[in-house]
Structures are given as C-alpha cells and as structure tokens.
Structure 1
C-alpha cells in the first residue's frame, strides 16, 4: 500500500516538477455590484484592484495560477428624486484567487487563455457614506467562482474577469432596513475586472 501511494504521488507530482514558474504584477479596475432580491435600487461602483501573481505552466496548454490582490468592491444607491440621499457602500478585501488556465492559440506573437477557478476574500476595510457622512459596516468573508479571458504578447497581458460571489456580503441591518419583515436579506458580490499585467521569469508559454 505504501509503495502504491508513493507511486501515485510521483505520478501526480512529475508534471509539476518541470513546470515553468512565472511571477508578476497586475492592476486595473473593478466594476462591482450586488445580486439578489435585496439589491433592487443599488447601482454598480468602480474600484481598484491589483496585486501579485504566480503561475505554474505545466505545458503550453495548461497552467495553474495563484494571486494575492487588493480588491475594492461595493455598490451605490442613487435616489431618483433627491441626489442628497445617495449612499455608497464600500468593502475592501485581500483576495486570494486560485485557478486553472487553458491556453488558446491565437498567433505567433499572441498568447491567449481561459481561466476557471475560485477565490476567497478577507475584508480589511468596510463602510460607506451618505448625507450624514461616513458610517461603519460589518462584512463577512467573501468567496465565490471566477472565469476570465486574457491575451498577451511576451511578458505583457490584458485580462478580463468575472467573479461570482456566493457569500452574503454583510449581515448589517444598515442594508436591510426597508425589507419586509418576512424577507431574508440577500446581497452577494458580483465583479467585472479589467487588468493589465506583466510577468517575469520562465519561458512565458
């Protein structure tokens, strides 16, 4: 049994032993909004996103990526009658996405890929502002799924990504004062990101 387990580990680890490892930085913009019945009347909010990337390319067609990002999310409430009552909800996270990347042939000088995976987000700054000034909000740990498309040449690339949040953003009563008494709160992060990145090391498949 021990020999079989060792053989299985060697079989799984062998492709990664020869993987090309690259490191990089990326940065750009988030367009974030909330989904769920409780999100009626809330509009998207722009924010920044950026951080570090490491990728293990097992072969030219398959790789695994891990990132550590600072990600600004939230939403806005715009009063249709009186703009003085507009509100902004802001949540900043340290986000850890992990994904697989499938390479898509484009041309001799261009490299494209599709990424599929998930992420976890730890809230580090939460709050908002309205006519009365800033206010505090409680936030939950965020997590969800992601899908992305990227295209690059050499060490440089541009990536578009959609993140589907699966966790309740917050249990704070501030979000849910206008809900009917029998309705459960339901707000989840949804984010569309556009980033520019640069990679270092490896052969950059």
Structure 2
C-alpha cells in the first residue's frame, strides 16, 4: 500500500514538474456586500483587488491555479437612520481547479482562505472606528468563475463570485458572511 501511494505521488509530482508552469499578475474591481442574518441592512460597496497567480497544468483541459491577492471589500449600511460603510482588507488565497472549455474560455472553482488584515466602520457625517476585533481573523469562501484569454495572448479577463461560507463576526451575535463579485484583468508573465 505504501509503495502504491509513493508511485501515485511520484507520477503526480513528475507531471507537475514537466508541465509548463506559468506565473502572472492580476487586478480589478470588487463589488462586495454582507449576507446572512442582517442582510437587509447592507448593500453593495465598490473596492479593488490585486495580486499574483501561478498556474500548474495537469493536461490540455485541466489545471490548478493558486493566487495571493490583497482585496479591499466592504458594504454600505443603513440601520435606524444611521448610514455608513464597513471596509475590510483581506489577504486572499484561492486554490482553483480550472477546466479549459475552448475558444479561450476557462471555467474555475475552488476554496479560498481570507486572512483579515484590517477593518473599519465609518458613519456618514461621523467618525470611523476599527472593527477588526469584532471580526474573525479568517474567512472561508468558495470561488466560482470564468476567464477569457484571446488566442495566443498573455492578457485575459476574468469574472468571479466568492461565496462566503463562514461567519465573519467574532461574537455570538448575528451570523454574517462575505459576498464578493470580482471583475478584472490578468497578465501572464
């Protein structure tokens, strides 16, 4: 059994080494909000993201893409006459399985870990305060997306939805999750 496991791991490792690993940079716009118990108080806010990526081909149709991104997210809120915006900065690390559908289109899906770097709440016509301690330090999400690269180009476009799976609040109050649409571009180096 150990020999069989070793052979499988060796074959997978050799295929990754022999494959044409590629690296790139990416960035774009976020449209994010908060969903869950208090979702009626929140609406979408615009942010941005940028980072790097590495693609590991498995064969001509499938690949694994890992990314490291800084993502600026948040939501507008309106509660009992008070309005404002929450802002959160995450370091996000998705691991995406990709299916190359043809004609330059790629479908992708996979888990994503988010590490909270900072968070603030700003009240309209008022001050702002840190809410980082009121939020969990990690966020787990599942990403679904599509990308398009014109024939033989190193520049592509992507559209992705990140569905928050974990409660981002650190207290025992309402359970809220992230909901983030991303549209952007990437360049393979």
Q: What TM-score do the two structures reach when normalised by structure 2?
A: 0.90
> Is residue 2:113 matched to residue 1:113?
no
Residue deviations 1:186-205 (CA, integer Å, cap 9, x gap): 210000000110002xxxxx
SS of 2:14's equivalent?
helix
Residue deviations 1:66-87 (CA, integer Å, cap 9, x gap): 000000111111469x6xx321
CA contact under 8 A between 1:115 and 1:148: conserved in structure 2? Answer: yes
Structure index of larger Rg? 1
> Is residue 2:160 matched to residue 1:161?
yes
CA contact under 8 A between 2:169 and 2:175: conserved in structure 1? Answer: no
Provide the C-alpha distance between the structure 1 equivalents of 2:2 and 2:30, rounded to a whole number of angstroms. 48
TM-superposed CA distance for 1:13, in Å, is: 2.5
TM-superposed CA distance for 1:101, in Å, is: 0.6
Structure 1 segments (4+ residues) deviating >4 Å: none
Number of equivalent positions: 183
Tell me which of 159, 181, 186 is aligned to 1:192. 181
TM-superposed CA distance for 1:172, in Å, is: 5.6
Provide the C-alpha distance between the structure 1 equivalents of 2:51 and 2:76, rounded to a whole number of angstroms. 25
Listed as ranges, the gaps of 5+ residues in structure 1 are 174-183, 201-205
> Is residue 2:170 matched to residue 1:171?
yes
Matched with 1:133 is 127
TM-superposed CA distance for 1:10, in Å, is: 2.2
TM-superposed CA distance for 1:151, in Å, is: 0.3
Provide the C-alpha distance between the structure 2 equivalents of 1:77 and 1:191, rounded to a whole number of angstroms. 16
CA contact under 8 A between 1:18 and 1:58: conserved in structure 2? Answer: no
SS of 2:4's equivalent?
helix
Matched with 2:145 is 148
Pairwise CA RMSD of aligned residues?
1.8
TM-superposed CA distance for 1:11, in Å, is: 2.9
Q: What TM-score do the two structures reach when normalised by structure 1?
A: 0.83
Matched with 1:73 is 73
